[in-house]
Chains A and B, each alone.
Chain A
């Protein structure tokens, strides 16, 4: 079996690969040069577009990063000249650039190699993550900008992955950059007092990318980017850049431990396989090992697990259990209780009820589910009636179970899930 893409254009793939490796260095360097992230991202993309035309024709340059940086820098100076026609501030910058060859007016203009300073890469990469995930941006803009500016994906790759037209992604990124400019968001690592909120936003965006990838429909187009893998890469990068942040390890652990189950989550006909029915031999043991190590690191700070760490700890209970029955459900109940306190949500409560049912039996779990029903939460979702129906089956209350499962069938949008529910009804006495 060859996974080499023989249908694509090899020259294009070579450019894309260079971009993957170098994009943060180039965008970071250009942002420091211009003092303007939006402009830097624009000119970096222009340099990439130019590479896509010229490298296939003239060959890949000796220093691909230097080439991209040189083109980006030239485009930035052009942009300043254009802007100088309508804005006095830029006129001054452009005059300085003309006089000294330098945008900042200093006597020595940095060369493309200076801008590719290897000692700045860590700070640049972190600053890029923070700016792309800035709380002033919408979630979808944060995701698009992070994938393009930090993960080094092309707009067309992102568009294919989210099954939307290229101009839609383009528009999200353009809007995001305008918002950052309007909000005067500086490029850099946030100040200490903002750090917790900003980091939480970065963690959230990486997790969104992960869940987008992990919930993607099965049998998907091969050309789509593996978003879950991209998220894991970003999380691995993050723990290197902020090694003192426990929740970064918690997020990495959660992603690794969840992804470990991916090989077993789809049946031979492409149908989803529930955790209880998965062939655990197919779980990715090296991912479990990495996830468990990241979780141990999170715990080692002695500051208590956060929302990601707690979810990772739950995933770890499953990962190390030989079977559903041999799972430490008591521990999972306790972890869900803790998660429900620091990150309350009806879905967490429902999951806790499922764990209680496994640990103590359906009669202990039913009141928890009934409480959710009484509070009228999760309305319109099939989750609540399908869990309640399952508990009623176990309690032998078939007629009530049938009604709940029928309600769940009416609410579900997913054909495969509907089939599973219909099988359950058919199995009722």
Chain B
């Protein structure tokens, strides 16, 4: 069964709207949603990103330019993700539709996670990556 990443994307507008929502309420909704994913046997991994401003590196010029996080530019922010083990992209979409992400500018993006088996297996770096995955049981 393929894996899909459901990527939470939000804007400054989304974050502003969430500031008015009770944190316990958010925890409750998110907890219930994750519980559904677990009980359906589809959740592989999930992480949320810290809300504090991060750092952006722009590689358009060399050396790359490092600036403060993308806040205040109303650009889309990557806010967290779920990885789901489901039968099809359509099923991943169905699960993502149910995520408690309602809000202005709030979006989710669904992408299939490529498997290491899809890369050339005779490449020495792929072989090294395999060994690393073997050692620590990474996805």
- A contact residues vs B (CB 8 Å cutoff): 1, 3-5, 10, 13-14, 16-18, 20-21, 118, 121-122, 125, 225-226, 229, 232-237, 240-241, 263, 280-283, 285-286, 288-289
Contact = CB atoms under 8 A, between A and B. Distances in A.
B133 interface: yes
B41 A237 contact: yes
Nearest to B131: A281
A13 B90 contact: yes
A18 B40 CA distance: 13
A343 B130 CA distance: 37
A21 B94 contact: yes
Contacts of B94: 17-18, 20-21
Contact of A233 (B42, B133, B134): B42
13 contacts: A1-B118, A14-B90, A16-B90, A17-B90, A17-B91, A18-B94, A20-B91, A21-B40, A229-B85, A233-B41, A263-B117, A281-B131, A283-B134
B138 A286 contact: yes
Given A3-B112, A288-B137, A281 B41 contact: no
7 cross-chain pairs, A with B, having the tightest CB-CB distances, nearest first: A236-B41, A17-B90, A233-B41, A289-B137, A229-B1, A285-B137, A17-B91
B78 interface: no
Nearest to A231: B41
Contact-residue size bin, chain B (C-beta under 8 Å from the other chain): 20 to 34
B41 A234 contact: yes
A16 B131 CA distance: 38
A5 B88 contact: yes
Contacts of A226: 1, 87
Contacts of A5: 88
A4 B110 CA distance: 13
A285 B117 CA distance: 13
Interface string B100-139: 0000000000001000011000000001001101101111
Interface of B: 1-2, 32, 36, 38-42, 44, 85-91, 93-95, 98, 112, 117-118, 127, 130-131, 133-134, 136-139
B39 A240 contact: yes
Nearest to B90: A17
Given A3-B112, A17-B93, A240 B38 contact: yes
Contacts of B137: 285-286, 288-289
A260 to B, nearest CB: 10
B129 to A, nearest CB: 11
A20 B87 contact: yes
A108 B88 CA distance: 39
B46 to A, nearest CB: 15
A118 B39 CA distance: 12
Given A1-B118, A229-B1, A233-B41, 17 more contacts: A14-B90, A17-B94, A20-B94, A21-B40, A121-B36, A122-B39, A125-B39, A226-B1, A234-B41, A237-B39, A237-B41, A240-B38, A240-B41, A281-B130, A285-B138, A286-B137, A289-B137
Nearest to B2: A3
A281 B39 contact: no
B33 to A, nearest CB: 11
B41 A118 contact: no
Given A229-B1, A263-B117, A286-B139, A21 B41 contact: no
Given A3-B2, A17-B94, A285 B134 contact: yes
A405 to B, nearest CB: 33
A344 B1 CA distance: 34
A63 to B, nearest CB: 11
B41 A232 contact: yes
